[in-house]
Amino acid sequence: MNKILVKLFSLIIIVMLAWFWVIVNPQPAFAQVNTINYNNANLENRDFANSDLIGVNFVAAEMRGTNFQGANLTNAILTKGVLLKANLSGANLTGALVDRVTLDNANLKNAIFTEATLTRSRFYDADITGADFTDAIIDRYQVSLLCERADGINPVTGVATRDSLGCK
């Protein structure tokens, strides 16, 4: 009986400490504090070169001809974006969500797409020289098209584009 009371008392103390911690230090679990939101924005021909855009939202944004050269787009969300003829050379898109994005004729030279999600996106005539797609999720059909013109080694990661795509 004594052991049961000790365990019950210990459990009550642990629950009270956890409750106290939540009250003293409240923070949303996955909320992005101070996130810039460019959702549905017309950003055509804008210059974001070398900008720090970590976690920024570009959902359904019009970004034709936009310059993201050297920008840090780590964990950015570009879902349903239009990036025709955009310049993403040297940009870091590690962990970015690039789902259903049109990247036709885009400059992706030396871009980093490690662990990015690139499902249902198009890369027709995009320059992917030196781009790193390590552990990225890309549709098989797009991978086969990318492998036809994959070339170069990423100067930052040291990974060959062909190797990062798993080309044979």
Look over the chain and give the mean of its residue pLDDT values, rounded to a whole number: 91
Beta bridge partners of 132: 112
Residues 23-43: what's their mean pLDDT?
Answer: 70
Distance (Å, rounded) from C-alpha 146 to C-alpha 125? 9
pLDDT at 12: 87
Q: What angle do CA 129, 45, 146 make, to 5 degrees?
A: 25
Q: Report whether pLDDT(87) > 70.
A: yes
pLDDT at 35: 67
pLDDT at 26: 56
Taking alpha carbons only, the member of 103, 40, 105, 36 closest to residue 72 is 36
Confidence band for 20, pLDDT divided at 50, 70 and 90 = low
Residues 64-82: what's their mean pLDDT?
Answer: 97
The percent of residues in the chain predicted with pLDDT above 90, rounded, is: 78
Q: Report whether pLDDT(59) > 90.
A: yes
Read out DSSP for 85-129?
Answer: T-B-TT-B-TT-B-TT-B-TT-B-TT-B-TT-EETT-B-TT-B-T
Residues 58-87: what's their mean pLDDT?
Answer: 97
pLDDT at 48: 97
Say how many C-beta atoms besides its own lie within 10 A of residue 75's C-beta: 17
